[in-house]
Chain A
Amino acid sequence: MKADNPELPHEIMDLQMGPSHPATHGTIKFNLKLEGEKVLDCDVEVGFLHRGFDKSCEQATWTQVIPYTDRLNYASSLINNVGYALAVEKLIGAEIPMRCQYIRVIVSELARIFDHLTCCGMAASELGAITVGFYLIEARELIMRIVENLTGARLTVTYVRIGGVKHDLPENFAEHVSKTFATVRRLLDDCDKLLSRNRIFLDRMAHIGVISQETALDHSLTGPILRATGVDYDVRKAFPYLVYDQMDFAVPLGSHGDNYDRFLCRILEMQESMKIVDQALRQLPVGPVWIDDPRFVLPEKEKVYGTIEGLMHHFKIIMEGIHVPAGETYSAVEGGNGELGFYVVSDGGGKPYRLRVRPPCFIAMGAFAEMIKGYMVADIVPTFGMINMIGGECDR
């Protein structure tokens, strides 16, 4: 601006965007330094939704933490459940039955589709493509119905337990999923036709919020933001957990590291996730969904109400919590937005001594200033949208 019109007066303006702004769906504040519409500097303020997740977890038993993990990234609460359960089971050294592992893969991928649909739908509607927003919200609603049918809840599901899952898949689950996926695929095709070569959408997304490979690695970015720069790092492939090593799927990679590549990565990942769910449902073995270990599993209700041993067993697990051997471990899963890690320390008691979550979007917010410097104020909206910051996980 300065170079084009040397006569025009210009000064650097401070602008505080947020913490409650209609375009930033999440409570977050950007302290911007602007020259005209150009962003010179951006200081990100997070923490408005801090509610002491770590401290609360230290007061709860190992099982009571599971509902807290739902409330981290509520768009993919099933992945949080799975990640936490895997970390505790790693410390216990538990061998989880095959059927349970397959179910966990299925629910993780459903949650990933859910997360990406939320992110892409919101980002599209913020850029004016309300139709696409509604199409993707419809697809999300259909996925939500599967989750509701399976767990009984829509967002805060609390489905996974330490040593298993709450219950087996409902009847006709595979049929329900395949019917839903047919509709979701059609909706995604429609969105592709509406958006992928849309001039307005391309102008707002392509070459905006660019971050190079080196900078992305330097900032510890993971997930679609890192893969959009072309780095092939997906926890499911790099450090396979559950039965991901038996699944046939590709990791979509971008090349420019801009918002458009992030968007495409997410859309393609949804297709891959649906492929994984289809495969897992086809290979799903028969068997129990709980480990056979009374130290961690609640007894059946007939035993609780019928025998004194069963009642004592139930009472001990509920009141004292399960006893996790002393030690510390780190276990990571691929969440919707990147590597979701759980660092767990136990002192041998019924409560976690320390529970740390590696929140992918908190770390992405650390790199936000780098992404937005030199772009326009209006570019904050799509860039922030493609990070998919979820306050519950960012601020804990």
Chain B
Amino acid sequence: MELTAMAEVSPELQQIHEKLGVRILQASNPQGDNVIALDRTDLRESFRVLKEDAELSFNFLSDITAVDYWKKQEPRFEVVYQLVSLKQRRRLRIRVGVPESEPRVDSLTPLWRGANFLEREVWDLYGIHFSDHPDLRRILLYDEFIGHPLRKDYPVNLWQPRVPERHVEGTFVDARSHNKLLRLQKNLAKKN
């Protein structure tokens, strides 16, 4: 985007543009919010600039989420970050397009440890992978869950298969629940 056009949108966006340059794909100012779309390559470096630059100092990561624009726009997914500069009392929203063929973005956990839970949630519900995340497990749903429910092609009334009880090594199992487990496994085997 051209620098002059950016200044017309908002002087704050122009300042960000001076630091990030061509990594900004698009900038806008709807309802008075500053919004930029960033390039997916070298994403963590862009965030490092936003966080550590003395003039920008967006030092607080408020939220990470995603939106699925299935059959509406390309790339299909968009990961959305909300940053706050506590010093200057400013907010910034960052949108990063993620294609369906390779749903993967850089993890921000090296910059903000708070990104850990937020990214796990996005992985859980949207199936977007965060590279270099230390512990990318499901968080709101259980490990055996099939699919990622907030994707628009996941039907709202889909039933998930019943999962047998998990046996955790070294835990105490009482006879009653163990019998129940055996019964359940037998029933499942019969069905299959």
Q: Which residues of A contact B (CB under 8 A)?
A: 14, 16, 46-47, 50, 52, 54-55, 58-59, 90-91, 93, 215, 217-222, 231, 233, 238-239, 327-330, 332, 339, 341, 343, 345, 347, 353-354, 356, 358, 362-363, 365-367, 370, 395-396
Contact = CB atoms under 8 A, between A and B. Distances in A.
B62 interface: yes
Interface stretch (B3-11, B16-24, B109-117, B183-191): B109-117
Contact of B113 (A90, A219, A327, A345): A219
Contact of A366 (B67, B93, B117): B117
Contacts of A328: 30, 67
The 3 closest A-B pairs by CB, nearest first: A220-B114, A366-B117, A47-B140
A263 to B, nearest CB: 23
Contact of A220 (B31, B62, B65): B62
A219 B82 contact: no
A46 B140 contact: yes
B156 interface: yes
B149 A52 contact: yes
A368 B125 CA distance: 22
29 contacts: A47-B140, A50-B140, A50-B141, A55-B149, A58-B156, A215-B113, A217-B60, A218-B112, A219-B114, A222-B62, A238-B89, A327-B30, A328-B30, A328-B67, A329-B33, A330-B82, A330-B91, A332-B62, A341-B62, A353-B67, A354-B67, A354-B68, A356-B63, A356-B65, A358-B63, A363-B117, A363-B118, A366-B116, A396-B140
Nearest to A45: B139
A104 B63 CA distance: 25
B62 A339 contact: yes
**Most chain A C-beta atoms within 10 Å of own C-beta, residue among B62, B93, B140:** B140
A218 B113 contact: yes
Contacts of A370: 113
Interface string B78-93: 0010101010010101
Contacts of B30: 327-329
